């Protein structure tokens, strides 16, 4: 089921607009888009392991730029766009609980969301809505997203051929695990 998409992604990793497309997805995912950039990052690094760290750099910087946009949504547009996004994910009743969490653990929440499959867009918007220190937010986003994307790039660069063979042999399993992790990230946010 996922083979055609995977093969297409590997082919597209060599396209002249691949880096821009990945940057756009990474930017959008940090502020409003539901699909994480890993769906482009992983095939691009597998296809071009010699550029693994450059790909991770672009992905990280675009993600942080998207996070800044998400922060702006929360800070300037919460009453319109921010409310719509929170309504889209059915988290209206969680805002009060999230505020209490931010008062005590804002840095840890931001850093954790940057590294894990938690929906980073919701955290970036919450940072803006709660007027979290902007400079500290940017630093935490750089560190968290950098850890996530550079770890993936480093592992694929180092173990690329065996990892690629392993993934390709079990592609459907990995795709379903990825979808489950994505759903679990949204579920965790909904539970908090």
Instruction: Estimate to the nearest angstrom the gap between the alpha carbon of 82 and the chain centroid.
Output: 18
46: left (phi over 0), alpha (psi -120 to 50) or beta: alpha
**pLDDT on residue 55:** 96
**pLDDT on residue 71:** 95
> In the 8-state DSSP scheme, what is residue 166?
H
**pLDDT on residue 6:** 60
> What is the sign, positive or negative, of the torsion defined by CA atoms of 87, 93, 96, 101?
negative
**CA distance to 64, 101, 116, per residue, from 108 (Å):** 17, 10, 12
**pLDDT on residue 93:** 75
DSSP 101-150: HHHHHHHHHHHHHHHSSS-HHHHHHHHHHTT--HHHHHHHHHHHHHHHHH
pTM above 0.85, yes or no: no
**pLDDT on residue 108:** 92
**pLDDT of the chain along its 192 residues, tens only?**
566 666 666 667 777 888 998 899 899 999 888 778 887 888 889 888 999 999 999 999 999 999 999 999 989 987 787 778 777 877 777 777 777 888 888 899 899 989 987 788 888 988 998 889 999 999 999 999 999 999 999 999 988 777 777 776 766 677 677 667 666 666 665 555
**pLDDT on residue 185:** 64
Pull the structure tokens for residue 131.
């007027």
**pLDDT on residue 161:** 76
CA distance 76 to 82: 9
For residue 67, which of 95, 29, 103 has the smallest C-alpha distance? 29
Write out the residue range of the structural domain in which residue 174 sits: 3-191
CA distance 7 to 36: 18
Angle at 112 between CA 89 and CA 133, to 5 degrees: 85
- Tally of domains in the chain: 1
Pull the structure tokens for residue 164.
């690629």
Angle at 87 between CA 59 and CA 110, to 5 degrees: 40
- The 10 Å Cβ neighbour count of residue 64 is 25
């Amino acid at each position: 089921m996922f083979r055609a998409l995977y093969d297409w992604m590997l082919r597209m990793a060599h396209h002249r607009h691949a880096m821009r497309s990945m940057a756009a997805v990474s930017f959008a995912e940090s502020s409003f888009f539901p699909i994480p950039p890993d769906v482009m990052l992983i095939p691009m690094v597998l296809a071009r392991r010699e550029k693994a760290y450059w790909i991770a750099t672009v992905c990280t910087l675009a993600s942080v730029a998207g996070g800044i946009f998400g922060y702006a949504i929360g800070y300037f547009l919460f009453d319109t766009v921010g409310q719509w996004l929170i309504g889209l994910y059915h988290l209206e009743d969680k805002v009060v609980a999230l505020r209490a969490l931010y008062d005590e653990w804002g840095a840890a929440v931001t850093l954790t969301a940057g590294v894990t499959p938690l929906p980073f867009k919701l955290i970036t918007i919450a940072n803006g809505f709660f007027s979290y220190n902007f400079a500290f937010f940017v630093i935490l986003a750089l560190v968290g997203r950098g850890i996530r994307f550079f770890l993936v790039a480093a592992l694929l660069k180092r173990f690329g051929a065996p990892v690629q063979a392993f993934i390709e042999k079990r592609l459907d399993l990995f795709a379903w695990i990825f979808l489950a992790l994505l759903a679990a990230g949204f579920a965790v946010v909904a539970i908090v």
